[in-house]
Structure 1
């Protein structure tokens, strides 16, 4: 088992959290999304959530309560259902959400037990406490979003069952098969939210005393060794519970593990270019891009942690938004089929991507949870300030405490970097309109009512625009999007991948074989395994051209890059007369190759990734 002790430079990663730094999420029913983000939320709602066989797949085990063990994920589904329904507002979506919540309430045992195992297995069998934790979370989301006091009471009885029977856990259960944090993943965050709602000291004492939440500070463990200590999703699950308690009772101990993970992800090669990481569910720092890479559960928990850090004011605001954006557009969206119905457990950079064969379990439900929360990640607010975090066509009605403000956003983002906000306060009001300036944009321009902002602001910062805002005032942004070749790290050293704005691009090698004009030799190369294609295919980023209206299957009106290629002697590389292939957005479900060889990696204009580096100076093995 290999571990890394990360010496966290808090000044680089975090600000001192205080009330003035904290932001509030915007309720999902106060925003209407268009563009890529709105399309993806609607697709997931209509073609995935609404198509599930709820009774057979999710409810039946809970009605029977005869299983000896296992995991269904009904609580995760409930959490997704609540947020999808709150955003949609459509009667059929709300009714389906209510059916999910009703099933949990109806199947809860008289003693408060929420799960589906037979009596002798309850809490003692693997995944039961895990399942219980997420059932608590689903019920708490129902209470938080809809004010459902019946759901709150059910959550209390479910948590009380756990507290009452905790003494009955087998001796040394924490060392039986997997780490206790993975065994109970979800429980801490659920009970922390229950404590926030009830202020019942028993829940606080359970977390801080029985579960020693403040003292938990597992190092980053590389690999899938005994007890599963390296499980990245499990690490972030416990960190999320700590962040929830930190919001209630600020303590550096509760923030430390999250910052350790963030430092590893940013500076320790712990994250891939697509915004996710890990292999076989566990931390890794070798940049391996094939096989069981990029677990969807980990991807979604990154997003949950990023959101919580923003709301706490506990990390660099712009960089956290950049991380969220990179992860959503690439790793998250690549986990879903074009029609929305099928989902993935892993999203490798290179090689075949396969769909998970079930609607239940962890990754499908966590995917739904991640997409369901996107409307809450676009804007954040606090008294006298708005923060525009993600960019998409939308309308939003925001409450800044002293004044209500309507905002309309017009943009083709992420296809184009031009954005226009129209601000409509209910009356003239003084507040700051803050905007994330992406780190990838080297020459940002901002105008208020057509007049250019002249004071300096830089990529990777938050542009603050404090003034007395009038109805109809506009903020126009121009974030030029140039193609950039990003230098590979670790196992991808000597190769590059293509990016534009927040989007990573990749190649569907099989469709390349069907390109018009392809000769027999090239057809044979592209018809082979993607790993074999990578060994002979060379591209030159200087011989690439952006296609604004490609035929990508990643999304409607997706973008592409036309690239000259060679499959002959890769020491020479392609020329301006060689044939072309089309790279599509990484989320295109058919893509099989993300990193490419070039004959001169140092001379072709490659740049380092502006978000992630392999700088290990802060790390001590």
Structure 2
């Protein structure tokens, strides 16, 4: 896709990028799992809607008819990308069939989809039209762009439900491709009408709300889909105030809601950064998609640091490693995952924290399909001094940028020459990357690599020789030269071991971009209890879910000790810990094959156990005529929940005398885990 005129970078087309190594293995597992078997997840993902506007969904409240369109559109976008990148034509063709069906069944004036969406609820179109744009990006088929332009010219875009404004993203993408001024005018008008609102539901992501110092408290997915629009409007128009508002809003979210896995809280609204705060799996895809836009538009590499942390930690931590089941809510501290273990106020005590092929609300099941494909799509960028993108890059002519790291191959044209770049690495499962640059003939251009802000001792060499200027953490390192076939760039990124502090006296450890967790052993036991009848009526879109063989829901009960406090000297973590890397060809995210293990001193905590109760207070949404509100219910049953951290003022008296060494692994290698620990005094610890 083309870039907007004021963006710092433009994307490398998806068709030019090929994942390798663990990225390709992940995508292949994804296609063999629920991405390639949407029927395993149940309604509505086991149905198609976009390919035939006469297929209407089964919903109790007609005002919620958009919901199945949103959920299936997530799957279409993710499956189309994953199938293409993994080389799985059968998965890609399932998704392309819905794209082609939607285009073929458009109304005579070009309107796509059911007539009920002409006047309201256009939110789901953003999700689906991303898939259409992906297919265009892969194929270059201009017919797809023309179809979307006709759709937006057919009927004025309504501004009702706050998410309707998300159409700005697609309108601006079409404007970037076509240069048609009426598309920019539509986007500008739609965004202005949205910002004229002062409803409670819109306040956190209007320009005025984003500029304010008021903390963000809204729904996580909604924030990410709408807050980024200010940056997109800047990229199209040069309105710096809009960009500044978006940047400020995301800074507030990081300040107030950042969790140990790199994502913000959002179960479902943002609610702080305590050790038990969780997030929807949906938000993994939406937050990283938005961070990718901010990276391209601003050229600030810190957005890439944030994006990587979410993909390397939160994403694999929310799914089984064969990609057959996922959580709806996922948490840094989760020592149990059953159909009655959700410890969040929203739906407390239900199955949302269990690993299942589908959940009563399928937005997360559909949206998780997009997360890693989106990462691969954002790995490589480019800019030109003499083009409209972004301004100077240091006088080096054309520039190719390795923005996000991972094993991959790209084929692009630079300085009038076809260039192949191979990125050889297991990163983040080894502390460095290497690139082999192969132009068809010698060519002069700038090759740029990101130096993560967390890396304080980076080394960059070309052909074995250090570059002239030492790389600076938190910047892009630009190497301008004449490149010859086989030139090799090596980037050493030593991973520091660092600590973070959290609410309630919590502490966590990080190794470079990897969050570390204590894995809690559990057997993946198939859940044979049909708990669909326990699903609140608000979420029932259709009849009971029929499970596909090979795609069970799981019950995970802790089988190993987990009640530990860390006893580390934070001023000297290198001496307190033992870091052991594994050189292995095994998939680095499997539970049993972590790429690195970190041994640290800890002390057991007495009287810290699961919270077992026969009554919970559960918040549930109420949708009355499409209006959303939360209602509290008292529910009886048998519930076992992850407990909060011990109170700091009682911790010392509850610690066992002896110091043990516990072994931490990357967050993504876990299902059950303790990540945020209570902090014990370090002086009694010893190696």
Report the TM-score range of the alignment, normalised by the length of the smaller protein. Answer: 0.7 to 0.9
Match of 2:501 in 1: 488
Residue 286 of structure 2: which of 298, 301, 319 is its match? 301
The runs of 5 or more residues in structure 2 that have no matched partner are: 196-205, 337-352, 385-397, 524-555, 607-650
**Residue 81 of structure 1 pairs with residue 69 of structure 2:** no
**Residue 39 of structure 1 pairs with residue 53 of structure 2:** no
The change in CA–CA distance for 1:350 and 1:218 in structure 2 (over 3 A counts) is farther
Residue 546 of structure 1: which of 576, 579, 600 is its match? 579
Q: Between Structure 1 and Structure 2, how many residues are aligned?
A: 543
Contact 2:459 2:493 in 1 (8 A): yes
Residue 306 of structure 2: which of 323, 329, 337 is its match? 323
Structure-2 separation of matches of 1:272 and 1:381: 31
**Residue 163 of structure 1 pairs with residue 156 of structure 2:** yes
Match of 2:258 in 1: 271
Residue 56 of structure 2: which of 57, 65, 69 is its match? 65
Match of 2:103 in 1: 105
**Residue 339 of structure 1 pairs with residue 420 of structure 2:** no
Match of 1:583 in 2: 664
**Residue 499 of structure 1 pairs with residue 485 of structure 2:** no
The change in CA–CA distance for 1:430 and 1:202 in structure 2 (over 3 A counts) is closer
**Residue 558 of structure 1 pairs with residue 595 of structure 2:** yes
Contact 1:290 1:348 in 2 (8 A): yes
The change in CA–CA distance for 1:324 and 1:363 in structure 2 (over 3 A counts) is same
The change in CA–CA distance for 1:242 and 1:568 in structure 2 (over 3 A counts) is closer
Q: Report SS of the residue matched to 1:321.
A: helix
Q: How do 1:198-237 residues align onto structure 2 when only pairs under 5 Å count?
A: 198-212=178-192, 215=195, 216-219=206-209, 222=215, 230-237=218-225
**Residue 474 of structure 1 pairs with residue 460 of structure 2:** no
Match of 1:152 in 2: 145
Structure-1 separation of matches of 2:190 and 2:459: 53
Match of 1:13 in 2: none
TM, length-normalised to structure 1:
0.77
1:254 is displaced (CA, Å) by: 3.0
- Deviations along 1:11-70, one digit per CA (max 9) or x if unpaired, are xxxxxx997972222223323322333322232233232112399723159543265233
**Residue 375 of structure 1 pairs with residue 366 of structure 2:** no
1:319 is displaced (CA, Å) by: 1.2
**Residue 599 of structure 1 pairs with residue 680 of structure 2:** yes
- Deviations along 1:77-109, one digit per CA (max 9) or x if unpaired, are 332233234434443234223222134335545
Contact 1:213 1:254 in 2 (8 A): no
Indicate the RMSD between aligned Cα atoms, in angstroms.
Answer: 3.7
Q: Report SS of the residue matched to 2:224.
A: helix
Structure-1 separation of matches of 2:488 and 2:506: 43
1:339 is displaced (CA, Å) by: 0.9
Structure-1 separation of matches of 2:182 and 2:171: 10
1:452 is displaced (CA, Å) by: 2.2
Q: Report SS of the residue matched to 1:274.
A: coil
Q: Report SS of the residue matched to 1:459.
A: coil
Q: Report SS of the residue matched to 1:457.
A: coil
**Residue 355 of structure 1 pairs with residue 342 of structure 2:** no
1:470 is displaced (CA, Å) by: 1.6
TM, length-normalised to structure 2:
0.70
Q: Report SS of the residue matched to 1:587.
A: helix
1:259 is displaced (CA, Å) by: 0.8
Contact 2:31 2:88 in 1 (8 A): no
- Deviations along 1:530-565, one digit per CA (max 9) or x if unpaired, are 9x955x644436543223239963585533223343
Structure-1 separation of matches of 2:486 and 2:190: 55
The change in CA–CA distance for 1:112 and 1:57 in structure 2 (over 3 A counts) is farther
Structure-1 separation of matches of 2:137 and 2:662: 49
1:590 is displaced (CA, Å) by: 1.5
- Deviations along 1:576-611, one digit per CA (max 9) or x if unpaired, are 98444332221234233111123237999xxxxxxx
Structure-2 separation of matches of 1:149 and 1:188: 20
The change in CA–CA distance for 1:55 and 1:275 in structure 2 (over 3 A counts) is closer
The change in CA–CA distance for 1:214 and 1:181 in structure 2 (over 3 A counts) is closer
**Residue 283 of structure 1 pairs with residue 284 of structure 2:** no
Q: Report SS of the residue matched to 1:50.
A: coil
Contact 2:314 2:668 in 1 (8 A): yes
Q: Report SS of the residue matched to 1:407.
A: strand
